[in-house]
Chain A
Amino acid sequence: MVSTPRAMGNVRVDISDMKVSNRVGDVLVTYALGSCLGVTMYDPVVRVAGMIHCMLPLSKVDPAKAAKMPYMFVDTGVPALFKAISELGAQKNRLVVKVAGCGQILGDNKLFKIGERNYTVLRKILWKNDILITGEHVGGNFSRTVFIEVATGRVVVRASGREIGI
């Protein structure tokens, strides 16, 4: 059993939202990732953490919305997270990247696998940037809540009443 990080300052990452922090007391948290994608990035040297909660894979379905809300889409949100975290001193070659979410509903509807497509788009972006995923808790019919502790980079996923460190 992994204890859920609780900190003085829980920083909430909403749907289609992104947060970065270098305050050691902070815990970034996002609630109820269904088919949405949650990505955490952490640079252990400068102790900078970032988290994003993207709803949809590709911004081309709604470019106007993407201009206004880039974090909604994986292809515009994840690059924005790279940028924001580098501005706090994080370096790409030190980044620890973890992924959660990308769940799916029942059935085998190929038309409608938003979670899987979110994950695929992320993999492509990370591959282009030469970054590996260090830990993940993805897929299945779950909804998940994710925490990252700025002080340690520890990531905990809560799903179906259980807590798992990834």
Chain B
Amino acid sequence: MNYREMILADVKTLPAISTAALQIADVLKDPDVDIKDVIRIVEYDPGMTANVLRMANSSYFGGSYHIGSIQQAIVRLGIDKLFDLVAVSATHEVIDKPIAGYELPPGELWYHSVAVAITAKNLADSLGIMAEDTAFTAGLLHDIGKVVIGTFVEKDFDKIDATAKASDLSFETAERKILGIDHAEIGYAVLDMWKFPDKITRAVRFHHRPEDIQGGAPEVDAVHISDILCLMMGIGPGREGLQYSLSEEILSRYLLTPPILEKIVSHSIDDMKRFAELFGIQSGGDNYGI
């Protein structure tokens, strides 16, 4: 078994996630989805229901009046947002852990994931790119592969790092050279195993090379830009630091200039803090390895 196969085999060791997220993703594929089905699926899982209501009542969503049921949450927030919250609740336990190799302390990958989700959504909204329904969840899950590949990166960190530095390669390109696979493709394998919708799995797979998608895909672009922005702002960079690149092609596709991006960042940071408070986490911490 080569390295790549060994890492891919480790995907299967991840715990199963709540089936509610997948069932909802599945029923939402139907344009004539029956809301009653969605409510039934979420309410079948009491933990999920409690989590979704807690988030729905947070200051991030305005919280002007109390949302007491999944039905009210759908009416107030819309079905897409409900799916975002279900995805958050379903994946929280898997992502919210310390990550070896990248040396991310407990909570940091989770905070980074939430930050990229929020920034991707804000970016999609403010640019009017048609990715509102997927940008958040794709952003939330983009680095889930790090949970699996982290221990392999840990073993070979020096080799990967040296390879990246020797030829000015981005870190994930060096991961592919040394390990035969990178965290983005592993993330794709994880989400494919969990049967997430194609748009989301594709965004995760290509989040470091969005220009490889023929014709482009707005949700991939939104996640790509947001990931790099959040790393630059110091939200979730690991031991590899800022050894990543931002696609010029994508920036010019949306005519993005520094003031536009900076305004999106300045707006997103508040949202992130409010959302992160729900999980009692902040970026950084005494165990931060970098």
Q: Which residues of A contact B (CB under 8 A)?
A: 10, 12, 14-16, 30-36, 53, 55-56, 61-62, 65, 69, 72, 103-107, 109, 111-112, 114-115, 117, 140-145, 158-161
**Which stretch (B50-58, B120-128, B187-195, B280-288) binds chain A?**
B280-288
15 A-B contacts, Cβ less than 8 Å apart? A31-B284, A32-B235, A32-B288, A34-B232, A34-B233, A65-B267, A72-B266, A104-B232, A105-B242, A109-B246, A111-B258, A114-B232, A140-B241, A141-B242, A143-B242
Residues of A within 8 A of B131 (CB): none
Residues of A within 8 A of B285 (CB): 31
Residues of B within 8 A of A109 (CB): 246, 248, 251
Residues of A within 8 A of B248 (CB): 107, 109
A56 touching B245 by the CB < 8 A rule? Answer: no
Q: Which of B103, B231, B233, B263 has the most CB of A within 10 A?
A: B233
Residues of A within 8 A of B69 (CB): none
Residues of B within 8 A of A30 (CB): 284
A159 touching B241 by the CB < 8 A rule? Answer: yes
* Interface of chain B, main secondary structure: loop
A106–B231 Cα gap in the complex (Å)? Answer: 12
B241 touching A141 by the CB < 8 A rule? Answer: yes
Q: Which residues of B contact A (CB under 8 A)?
A: 103, 168, 170, 228, 231-239, 241-246, 248, 251, 256-259, 261-263, 265-267, 269-270, 282-286, 288-290
A36 touching B242 by the CB < 8 A rule? Answer: no
From the candidates B238, B244, B265, B283, name the one contacting A31 in the complex (CB within 8 A): B283
With contact pairs A55-B233, A141-B243, A143-B234 given, residues A160 and B269 touching in the complex (Cβ less than 8 Å): no
B266 touching A65 by the CB < 8 A rule? Answer: yes
Residues of A within 8 A of B267 (CB): 62, 65
Residues of A within 8 A of B241 (CB): 34, 103, 140-143, 159-160
> How many pairs of residues, A versus B, come closer than 8 Å at their CB atoms?
128
Residue of A nearest to B168 (CB): A106
A15 touching B269 by the CB < 8 A rule? Answer: yes
A159–B241 Cα gap in the complex (Å)? Answer: 8
With contact pairs A32-B283, A62-B267 given, residues A106 and B234 touching in the complex (Cβ less than 8 Å): no
A111 touching B266 by the CB < 8 A rule? Answer: no
Residue of B nearest to A33 (CB): B234
With contact pairs A61-B262, A103-B241, A106-B168 given, residues A159 and B234 touching in the complex (Cβ less than 8 Å): no
Residues of A within 8 A of B244 (CB): 105-106
A36 touching B233 by the CB < 8 A rule? Answer: yes
Residues of A within 8 A of B231 (CB): 34, 105, 143
Residue of B nearest to A59 (CB): B266
From the candidates A56, A140, A142, A158, name the one contacting B266 in the complex (CB within 8 A): A56
B290 touching A144 by the CB < 8 A rule? Answer: yes
Closest chain-B Cβ to A74's Cβ sits at a distance in Å of 12
B290 touching A158 by the CB < 8 A rule? Answer: yes
- Besides A35-B234, A142-B290, A159-B290, 13 more A-B contacts (Cβ < 8 Å) are A15-B235, A34-B231, A34-B234, A35-B232, A61-B263, A105-B232, A105-B246, A106-B242, A107-B245, A107-B246, A117-B258, A158-B290, A161-B289
A88–B58 Cα gap in the complex (Å)? Answer: 38
Residues of A within 8 A of B238 (CB): 143
Closest chain-A Cβ to B248's Cβ sits at a distance in Å of 6
Residues of B within 8 A of A141 (CB): 241-243
Residues of B within 8 A of A61 (CB): 259, 262-263, 266
A65–B284 Cα gap in the complex (Å)? Answer: 23
Q: Which of A106, A107, A109, A145 has the most CB of B within 10 A?
A: A106
Residues of B within 8 A of A65 (CB): 266-267
From the candidates A12, A114, A143, A161, name the one contacting B237 in the complex (CB within 8 A): A143
Residues of B within 8 A of A12 (CB): 284
Residues of A within 8 A of B234 (CB): 15, 31-36, 53, 143
Residues of A within 8 A of B242 (CB): 34-35, 103-106, 141-143
Residue of B nearest to A64 (CB): B266
